[in-house]
A and B are shown apart, each in its own frame.
Chain A
Amino acid sequence: MNESLAQLFLGFQVALTPINILWTTLGGVLGTIIGMLPGLGPATGVAVLLPLTFKMGPVGAMITMAGVYYGAMFGGSRASILLNTPGDGAAIASCFDGYPMTQKGRAEAALAISAVASFIGGMIANVAMVFIAVPMARFSLKFGPAEYTLLMLFALVATAAMSKEKMLLGFVGMIFGLMIATIGLDGLTGVNRFTFGVLELMGGVDFLIIIIGIYALGEVFKSFKTVHDPSYKMQTKFGKIRFTREDWKRSWPAILRATPLGFFIGALPGAGGTMAALMAYNNEKSLSRHPEEFGKGAVEGLAAPEAANNASSVGALIPMMTLGIPGSGTTAVMLGALLMLGLQPGPLLFTKQPEVAWGMIASMFIGNFILLFINMPMASVLVRVLSVPAKVLYPLILGLAFIGTYAITNSVVDFFILILFGLIGIFLDKTKIPTSPLILGGIVGSTMETSFRQALMLSDGSPKIFYGSPITIVLIALTLFSVAWPLAGNAIKKARAARAA
């Protein structure tokens, strides 16, 4: 525990240098803006802004990317509150009571309480992260290749199984992602796999490009449908952004309840900010003495999901940093970016490059203060971004997607891969195949295969190594459970419906 504090102190020394404070602010502001804009989430934001981090070095890059991530959680609710359109998935639950508050003329209070709830949720989760990160990283040293294979499998399966009735589709996406990851020269044997004689494919398909293709190009193409809608009317004049004492009295217990929930859900693989926020909302509604006020502008119904999604974004960073296993779309992109910067997340990140790991953690404390400032006194200035017409914005996102791709690989050939995956993005949307299992599969695919083969080499080809230790058995049980649980839930629902009918 003392060790963690000493390391955190070192982290603050890194994070408090002027340049890193600048990166924290930049990441937070860009994240807030990206979060605000409907259709653009933190995953797209990190992917498109990646080239900007090239010159920053690993510490600056991590600080900026983390800033974009939790900044987007702050920003997402702005559009929910003012326009009834969530800026990103995690802000859906903030529409339920945030927008009714605006309709009642209480937009200022809604903006203020959501910023404060986000701040508290983020801060408490940061403190928890400080104390959990090191023991977690140390525990993961017990993991051999077989355990790693199963852990990644669990993360993948849990993500794919999350989409209940579309579970089969989720698995199709997952396997497809894993398949793409096998393209290219095999590092262990020097054999070319699935390159079909194309020279450019020998190095493999860069997954960051696939992400930009699916998230940026695909999203923009999809939104061509709505781009012709007359632009929405939004309140642009605000009074003082603040809330009343009564609001606070109703909100703080909700915030304190939602934070640990969000943190925990975020740290689980598969479930992300959206789920954390929705669970926090439902939880608060069922505990409330006035459940009838929910959906009509109950302030605690806004505070709870806001605290939860911020806490979950911190929680999601833990498995990514300590185990090298992303639990959400955004952390998957961050993991890809880390690997590109030459960093290997996992237990060694904390011992070999403590300035990166702890610099980032410390910057998150600072970032929360900065974002509180940006989202309270400055809120009325910042929300003007929402009045940028979509018809200008979306073409520019296309431009950013291409320049981002070029900056990553320096090759025009990848433009065609980018366009191809933009098309695949539309196809995935039509067929309702969820994208996050695919992305996750693609990012962890090659590590998972390497672990799998190392394990088999260790055991001379005997599969027993995959169920020979207590950790592997627990992991197998968790994997099976993650599939069985949604199925059981469905069956119970069906049985209930049948009885009611």
Chain B
Amino acid sequence: MTWNLITGLIATLIGIVYGWQALRLPHATFGTKTGHIIYPVILGGVMILLGLGLVLKELLAKGPKDPKSTPKFGKLTKHGREIGIAILASLGYALIFEPLGYVISTILYLLAVLFLVNGRAKPVRSIVVAVLFSIGVYVLFAVFLGIQLPRMPLLDI
């Protein structure tokens, strides 16, 4: 299983699902009846061809395979784990963004990511950076750019 093979299979699948969805689109009640269908059907068709092309090319390829071109499964590396945590933190940020307001949610999010990358080293720096950034951005956007950001609960600032 190389990355190219996986890409080919996924591309084929996307092409089939997308093309099939396009074919099932309702006809338009005004304008050209099928104008909005032809173009996506072509896209789906080309994607299927590309996907199959990749699969074929990969199956016909000879010679030793570069170990880098095959994905490794199993235990996550430290790098992979960090990405995972960062993504979870980002999802959490999206959930608390409106309820907690911009400043608090952003301080929490930045602290999470800063401590994730820095570990226990330089905690003061992390805290200062997170607080200053959040307040600074809030002031810049709310005061100077006039873009409303979610406010803090209770204090309402």
Contacts and interface: CB of A to CB of B under 8 A. Distances in A.
Interface of A: 51-52, 54-55, 168-169, 171-172, 175-176, 178-179, 182, 186, 188-191, 193-194, 217, 221, 224-225, 227-228, 391-392, 394-396, 398-400, 402-403, 406-407, 410, 412, 415-416, 419, 422-423, 426, 430-433, 449, 452-453, 456-457
Contact of A412 (B29, B94, B110): B94
Most chain B Cβ neighbours within 10 Å, of A225, A395, A449: A395
Contacts of B110: 395-396, 398-399
A430 B31 contact: no
Interface in B22-55: 22, 25-26, 28-32, 35-36, 38-40, 43-44, 46-47, 50-51, 53-54
Contact of A179 (B40, B98, B102): B40
B117 A391 contact: yes
A462 to B, nearest CB: 13
B83 A453 contact: no
Given A169-B54, A407-B147, A431-B4, A398 B40 contact: no
B113 interface: yes
Contact of B141 (A186, A193, A394, A407): A407
A419 B94 contact: yes
A194 B22 CA distance: 8
Contacts of B30: 189-190
Contacts of B38: 453, 456
B94 A416 contact: yes
A394 B146 CA distance: 26
A51 B14 contact: no
Nearest to A430: B3
Among all A-B residue pairs, the 9 with the closest Cβ atoms: A189-B28, A415-B94, A395-B113, A186-B36, A431-B7, A431-B3, A391-B117, A225-B79, A175-B47
A406 B150 CA distance: 10
28 contacts: A55-B144, A168-B53, A169-B7, A178-B43, A179-B14, A182-B43, A189-B28, A189-B29, A189-B30, A189-B35, A190-B30, A191-B25, A191-B26, A194-B18, A228-B117, A394-B117, A395-B129, A396-B110, A398-B90, A398-B110, A399-B133, A402-B97, A426-B83, A453-B32, A453-B36, A453-B38, A453-B39, A456-B38
A452 B125 contact: no
B90 A422 contact: yes
B28 A406 contact: no
A391 B113 CA distance: 9
Most chain A Cβ neighbours within 10 Å, of B36, B38, B91, B141: B36
A177 B125 CA distance: 40
A175 B114 contact: no
Q: Chain B, interface size: which category?
A: 35 or more
Given A188-B35, A457-B32, A399 B137 contact: yes
A396 B50 CA distance: 38
A430 B80 CA distance: 12
Given A190-B28, A399-B110, A224 B79 contact: yes
Contacts of A407: 141, 145, 147
B91 to A, nearest CB: 6
B136 to A, nearest CB: 10
A402 B87 CA distance: 13
B100 to A, nearest CB: 12
Given A191-B26, A457-B32, A392 B129 contact: yes
A64 to B, nearest CB: 13
A150 B22 CA distance: 23
Contact of B149 (A406, A416, A419): A406
A224 B117 contact: yes
A453 B35 CA distance: 7
A193 B36 contact: yes
Contacts of A189: 28-32, 35-36
A193 B25 contact: yes
A457 B35 contact: yes
Interface string B72-102: 0000000100110011001101100110001
Given A224-B83, A395-B117, A431 B18 contact: no
Nearest to A401: B90
A179 B50 CA distance: 14
Nearest to B113: A395
A396 B122 CA distance: 16
Contacts of B7: 169, 172, 431, 433
